């Protein structure tokens, strides 16, 4: 699937909502900063990489969509590989591929579960499972009760 970026002079919330509802991946309002556009295109391509190649490399972590595994190279040269369930994999990939970006529960529920976000208990359970699966991984650390981080990306 090819990612799409809308660049337009239409700046109302209703216009942006329509753009996202029609399937755009990102939306920029003119005038634009060329550097920002390049960063956004780079992020869109990084996010779409797993859809085309079924693999994506984020830092020292490799995501393999065929096997639903996450392989991490440790600083000491060791390798950790964790098998995940489909939704766990999708959730971790979404969060890790968007460093320093925060998602609302609604956004995650809509993107991963194609749900209206009314039952966020499912999300809590999956986050807990990911924390448990990566508990021994030094690159994965809890920051507080509401979020954790995989070096460079929120989890």
How many structural domains compose the chain?
Answer: 1
Domain containing 38 equals: 1-52
Flag whether 133 is in a domain: no
Could you tell me the pTM of the whole model?
0.61
In a domain, 125, yes or no: no
DSSP-derived 3-state class of residue 94: helix
pLDDT in tens, 83-97: 999 999 989 888 887
In angstroms, the CA 66 to CA 154 distance is 23
Whether 62 is covered by a domain: the verdict is: no
* Per-residue pLDDT tens digits for 6-65: 999 999 999 999 988 887 889 999 999 999 999 888 888 777 766 666 777 877 888 898
């Amino acid at each position: 699937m090819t990612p799409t970026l809308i660049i337009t002079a239409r700046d109302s919330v209703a216009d942006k909502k329509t753009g996202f509802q029609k399937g755009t991946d990102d939306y920029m309002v003119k005038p634009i900063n060329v550097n920002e556009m390049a960063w956004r295109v780079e992020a869109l391509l990084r996010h779409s990489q797993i859809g085309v190649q079924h693999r994506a490399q984020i830092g020292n972590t490799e995501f393999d969509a065929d096997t639903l595994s996450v392989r991490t190279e440790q600083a000491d040269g060791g390798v950790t590989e964790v098998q995940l369930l489909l939704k766990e994999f999708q959730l971790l990939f979404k969060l890790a591929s968007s460093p320093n970006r925060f998602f609302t529960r609604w956004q995650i529920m809509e993107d991963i579960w194609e749900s209206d976000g009314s039952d966020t208990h499912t999300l809590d359970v999956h986050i807990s499972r990911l924390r448990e699966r990566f508990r021994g991984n030094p690159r994965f650390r809890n920051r507080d009760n509401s979020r954790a981080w995989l070096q460079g990306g929120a989890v």
